[in-house]
Amino acid sequence: MPIKLPENLPAYDVLSKEGVMVMSDDRAARQDIRPLRIGLLNLMPKKIQTENQFARLIGATPLQVELSLIRMTEHQTKNTAAAHMEEFYRPFADVAASGEKFDGLVITGAPIEHLPFEEVTYWDELRDVMDWTQSHVQSTFGVCWGGMAMIYHFHGVQKHMLDHKAFGCIRHRNCAPASPFLRGFSDDMVIPVSRWTEMRRTEIEAAGGLDILIDSSETGPCLVQDPAHRAIYIFNHFEYDSGTLKEEYDRDVAAGTPINVPVNYYPDDDPSQPPQNRWRSHAHLLYGNWVNEIYQSTPYDINEIGR
């Protein structure tokens, strides 16, 4: 089954050309089925690229999914055209005022990890979003900074600055093979990592009520389940395209920012070679498993969520 997107959203054409099943509003209305409603709270500067990445993964399941794009109410993006934001995004204040509910919500990362959470301009509203998920969302997926923000908000687990950027394709181990979120996963896997901060295993374990599902001896915990808050947090980037790390590396090189070559990404770590994607299959498994878990647990009457 396809993911439902507006026909004029750039992701519609991009995913159609890739062979992902997409459906317009008109076609979806003719199907006698309740699609899963999944929101994307997009905090990344390159909104369209992020829309494509998450829609590609969420739309690869056998279920019909309706993707809703959400933004922070007052924060104005500088990297995406205002017309795009006006046409496709709803401010969170409007979503909250409507009383509507969602089967799932993705809270993306944001390039502000050097700031303490309380110094982020939209922190107060983001706290409202996270509290709102407890009564209006069946399952929430916090990604990178978004996951760190959620685990800090709900459990007080701090992020810690690194002395150098964790950057590249890092090998991780499967710590919970029986978890439904890791159904079909190998014992180990490669995951793109791009961050200046870390979450520490000892502090996550000390918080209580949290389960580390994927971990790395090099970069620490990656995927954490928070059953009490119906949430999972991932601190790395399964959603990345094949060239995303390259774009980040080339940007920093062009700006004169000190940066190491992303490890285990280019053949022989040679940036003149095309990068290799070795995480795509596990990315689809993780997001497909998440959508399936939502489908298995969400009430048919979406208004029953949170009751």
Question: Among this protein's residues, is 205 annotated catalytic?
Answer: no
Long-range contacts of 130-134 (CB under 8 A, 24+ apart): 130/154, 132/96, 133/105, 133/229, 133/230, 133/231, 134/229, 134/230, 134/306
Question: Of the residues 136, 155, 172, 237, which is catalytic?
Answer: 237
Closest listed residue to residue 199, CA positions, set 159, 237, 251, 253: 159
Question: Among this protein's residues, is 164 annotated catalytic?
Answer: no
Question: Of the residues 66, 113, 239, 248, which is catalytic?
Answer: 239
- Give yes or no for a contact between 245 and 194, defined as CB atoms under 8 angstroms apart: yes
The residue written with tokens 């991009």 in the block is 14
Question: Among this protein's residues, is 239 annotated catalytic?
Answer: yes
DSSP secondary structure string, 159-200?
PEEEEEEEEEEEEEEES-TT-GGGTT--SEEEEEEEEEEE--
Question: Of the residues 136, 144, 172, 229, which is catalytic?
Answer: 144
List of residues 6+ apart from 82 with CB closer than 8 A: none
- Give yes or no for a contact between 231 and 197, defined as CB atoms under 8 angstroms apart: no
**Which are the catalytic amino acids?**
144, 237, 239
